Structure 1
Amino acid sequence: MAVEHDPVLLRPVEDLFLPLQPGSVLCDATLGAGGHTARFLELCTTCSIVGIDADTRMLDQARRRLGATKRVEFVHGWFDEVLANRRGFDRILIDLGISMVHLREGNRGFSFLEDGPLDMRLDATGPDETAEELIQQWSESEIADTIYRYGEERYSRRIAAAIVRERPGGIRTTGALAEIIRRAVPPPYRRGRIHPATRTFQALRIAVNRELERLERVIPRAARALNPGGRLAIISFHSLEDRIVKHRFRDLCGSVSSTTGEKEPILESGDRFRIVTRKPIVPDESETRENPASRSAKLRVLEKAEKG
């Protein structure tokens, strides 16, 4: 039985993407189970959509949900890599973070509540190393720094020391790692509002999939891929992501060119942008009540100016 995943901030995205002109081309750069795309297909019966996902299993689930339609192009890949070579979009949506599907299925290694292999790769077909491999290879300081930087975990050094102490015997499952973390932190922390392994698992997932690096790269590439008048919407779920989105949007509005560290220029000369959302849009009380996983979501929208 497929695990359901509710699309976050669906109505605000809809409001900010409308009106859609007949024949508009949209990109759902994090297709997932296809919730946002299903709504886009309803809103515009002549629009076409490019749906991108790094996870082949999620692509299969989206295909089943959306059915046989020529209006959706399903693309397997990372959004920063795919959008480096695509143009002509009127709307682009990037919904960051992890799907509830991943968190509820233990066999992918994302969940500390369901025991499974310590993998955490969104693209299980790719060359990226697993979380198990990384914690075996990294030094204690590298583990601690990663957990602190990406998880904002106050007990990162205790946890890193415990991982290094236990890893000679192998740390192969999510359950084993979660128990090591639980024992490493003080008893009051174990009884806190969130599971003591939450921040460490988040940090390792971000590191395994290079999520923040990809976010840094995709923003100027997605901006370049927009048609004049097009809009880029990004939903983030924690402060590290939102900070990057906010600053990169400001960068794009402050200059006509940008780079992502590579030699090629990312934006066309003369491209101009404006930030549509002065402050990030957050879920209302009704949405957070119905979908508690949405409570930390923030939506920011950028628009490419018309030529002339």
Structure 2
Amino acid sequence: MPAPNHSLRSDSGRAPQHTPVLLEEVLKLTQPQSGDTVIDCTLGSGGYAKRFLEATEPTGRLLGLDRDAVAIQLAKTKLGEYQARMILKHGRFGALKSLIGDFPRPDIIVADLGLSSFALDDEQRGFAFQKFGPLDMRMDQTSGKTAAELLNTLELRELERILKNFGEERQAGKIARAIVERRKTKSFSTTQDLVQIVEAVYREVLKAQPGQKIWLKRQIHPATQTFQAFRIAVNDEISELEKFLPQAFEILKPGGRLAIVSFHSLEDRLVKNFFRNQAKICSCPAEQLQCTCDRIPAGKLLNKKPIQPNSAEIQINPRARSAKLRIIQKN
């Protein structure tokens, strides 16, 4: 399937913007120094990368990865002045070790697991329930099945599993059944096709009157968790993160730091548990009967509790409100 030819400019003629989340906190805790090597595993439009390249001047190097080809093009434009000190590659961070090539072992690895604003704001990508567009949701539009394909083909039980496990959706069963019933007469093709199904389910559950607002507490739209669930399923996000974490920690230099910004509880739980396991007194595998690590932890937690955006950052960038930053240093 050929990649869509999306413009890299907004309707106003400006290049799309993305505000990096918890940027100052990431820089403070990773402590980039002149000459350091950095891997930015979720390059986006280059917000983190630019600051790391500035902080590691004049000889520091950066490898930037992203599974979204549009992001690579945007970052090339934004970071053009640093071309001699950076390498940008299109690929999934779950395949980190196969992408690094002969790039030196890094001092710092950073990953912002959130969706870039330029992708979220592009109605042709299908990520946002507020916008009318095709139900795509693929971060890499050169491969994989779209959300519409999953909605139109998966069995009831699998639809319910996705909604329950990836969206933590309380009405998973009802929404899954409504999806199956709807596609008997009309296939899913647009974002509004899915929004209408979810809204109809919640109107029935809440016994809402016609025209009555049905947004739930904290002003979260009923379709939020359903869209999250199918985005995660389409992009195999949980599996990618599970593959990424041990690879990233392995390739870090001793003393190197791994920083992860997550945006929902499924991601944060994985990161928290992985980091805690690396910081245990004994780092030997659980199935190993005799300790061979001299009871030296593999890593040190630099923040026991996740760092979250303050009210000032949330006011400037509301999409940052659910972000959580965790950092570990390799021993």
Task: Return the TM-score normalized by structure 1.
Answer: 0.90
Residue 42 of structure 1, aligned match among 51, 54, 67: 54
Aligned to 2:200: 183
Give the secondary-structure state (helix, strand or coil) at the position aligned to 1:31.
coil
Of 167, 185, 193, 2:183 maps to: 167
Of 148, 162, 170, which aligns to 1:146?
A: 162
2:21 corresponds to which residue? 8
Q: Which runs of 5+ in 1 are unaligned?
A: 260-269
- The 2-side partners of 1:9 and 1:280 are apart by 11
Q: Is the CA contact (8 Å cut-off) linking 1:158 and 1:185 kept in structure 2?
A: no
From 171, 180, 185, the equivalent of 1:155 is 171
Which of 146, 153, 159 is matched with 1:130 structurally? Answer: 146
Q: Any idea what SS the aligned residue of 1:27 has?
A: strand
Is residue 277–residue 283 contact of structure 2 (8 Å, CA) maintained in 1? no
**Within the alignment, does 1:281 sit opposite 2:307 as a pair?**
yes
Shift of 1:176: 1.3
Residues 208-254 of structure 1 deviation map (CA, whole Å, 9 limit, x = unaligned): 11101111111110000101110000001111111110001112223
C-alpha distance in structure 2 between counterparts of 1:150 and 1:8, whole Å:
22
User: What's the % identity of the aligned pairs?
Assistant: 42
- The alignment partner of 1:177 has SS state of helix
CA RMSD of aligned residues (A): 1.8
Range that drifts further, 213-222 or 184-193: 184-193
Q: Is the 8 A contact 2:105 2:251 kept in 1?
A: yes
Deviation per residue, 1:6-36 (Å, 9 max, x gap): 000011001012151x321100000001101
Say whether the 8 Å CA contact 2:123–2:131 is kept in structure 1.
Answer: yes
8 Å contact kept, 1:150–1:240: yes
Q: What is the aligned partner in structure 2 of residue 82 from structure 1?
A: 96
Task: Look up the SS of the partner of 2:255 in the other structure.
Answer: strand
SS in structure 1 at match of 2:220: coil
Which residue in 1 is equivalent to 2:290?
none
Are residues 1:215 and 2:241 paired?
yes
Structure 2: tracts of 5 or more residues without a match: 1-9, 287-295
The residue that corresponds to 1:27 in the other structure is 39
Q: In the superposition, relative to structure 1, how do residues 257 and 107 fare at CA in structure 2: closer, same or farther (>3 Å)?
A: farther
TM-score calculated relative to the size of structure 2 = 0.84
| Superposition deviation, residue 136 in structure 1 | 1.7
Mean Cα deviation higher: 151-160 or 225-234: 151-160
CA distance in 1 between partners of 2:94 and 2:321 (Å): 26
Within-5 A mapping of 1:203-242: 203-242=229-268
CA drift at 1:181: 1.4
| Inter-CA distance 155–9: structure 2 relative to 1 (3 Å threshold) | same
User: Corresponding residue for 1:263?
Assistant: none
Query: How many residue pairs get matched?
Result: 293
Distance 1:74 1:177 in 2: 35
| SS at 1:171 equivalent | coil
Higher-Rg member (1/2)? 2
Equivalent residue, structure 1, for 2:136: 119
Secondary structure in structure 2 of the residue aligned to 1:123: coil
Check whether the contact 1:252–1:258 (CA below 8 A) recurs between aligned residues: no
State the shift of 1:58 in Å.
0.8
Query: Deviations along 1:55-102, whole A, 9 cap, x unmatched?
Result: 000111111111241211101000110235646010000100211212
Find runs of 4+ consecutive structure 1 residues off by over 3 angstroms: 83-87, 255-259
Does the Cα contact within 8 Å between 1:5 and 1:100 map onto a contact in 2? yes
Rounded to whole Å, the distance in 1 between the matches of 2:297 and 2:40 is 22
Equivalent residues of 2:300, 2:329 under 8 A apart: yes
SS in 2 for 1:143: helix
How many Å apart are 1:257 and its aligned residue?
5.3
CA distance in 1, matches of 2:240, 2:284: 19
1:265 paired residue number: none
Three-state SS of the structure 2 residue aligned to 1:195 is coil
The residue that corresponds to 2:122 in the other structure is 105
State the shift of 1:272 in Å.
Answer: 2.0
- 8 Å contact kept, 1:102–1:111: no
- SS of 1:172's partner is coil
Contact 1:31 1:37 in 2 (8 A): yes
